[in-house]
Structure 1
């Protein structure tokens, strides 16, 4: 597949600077790196963003994640490879990505579960990672960025 358009952040460099600043803040928020990788991958799977799934797997592997766990992210509820804290973050990623699927974009139960495992700063980092991922997914899907392309 050929991309329809050069990545908008390459065409508007100031946009990329802003995204990089947010991404840097996310990684300084104290949330475990593995959780950030998992929520990125799950949101990208939901949105069908092949470029982000590819990039997310590559990044997760580089940061110590295992093939076995990455293969099971799509079916994390049925897997015994994820901690309760990771499960809560994955549930948040799903609900925050599918905000139009329910009257309340994120259920109180999901928020309570994720709040048991992460403090406010960590939650902010996780939520920003989910939000950035959804931004990346939309840019890549609309422009038809091919898998294998990375930012």
Structure 2
């Protein structure tokens, strides 16, 4: 498939300024970088976003994540490689990404599990990371961005 469009932030650079400000807020929240990387990767896997899966794995490895854990993110429920907090964040990611799959976007038990492990600042960062990742996934899918492309 041929890419349809240059990355929109290259065409509208002011958009990147806003995205960078959101990322700055996310990473100053106190939320674990590992959790944020896992959230980004899982949402990107669900949405089939090759550029984000590629970039997410590359970034996670750079920040100390292991190949073994990254290979298991797609099947996180079936392995003991993730902490209870990471599992809560991954469950929240799945439900918040697949909002059309159920009457309530995020079920109360899923929210309660996440709130048990993360304070309001951390939850805010996780939710913003889920939202940004879903935005990136949709932009990349729409423009047919190739894996290896970066923002």
Is the structural similarity TM-score above 0.5?
A: yes
1:68: which partner in 2?
68
Q: Unaligned stretches of 5+ in structure 1? A: none
Write the distance in 2 (CA, Å) between the matches of 1:125 and 1:62: 20
Whole-Å Cα distance in 1 between the matches of residues 128 and 3 of structure 2? Answer: 26
Q: CA RMSD in A?
A: 0.6
Aligned mates of 1:148, 1:139 — CA distance in 2: 15
Distance 2:56 2:125 in 1: 17
The alpha carbon displacement at 1:150 in A equals 1.1
In structure 1, C-alpha distance between the alignment counterparts of 2:122 and 2:149, rounded to whole Å: 29
Give the equivalent residue in structure 2 for 1:19: 19
Q: TM-score, normalised by structure 2?
A: 0.99
Q: How many matched pairs?
A: 151
- TM-score, with structure 1 as normaliser: 0.99
- 2:52 maps to which residue? 52
* Deviations, residues 101-124 of structure 1 (Å, cap 9, x unaligned): 111000000000000000000000
Secondary structure at the aligned position of 1:30 is classed as coil
Aligned-pair distance for 1:2? 3.0
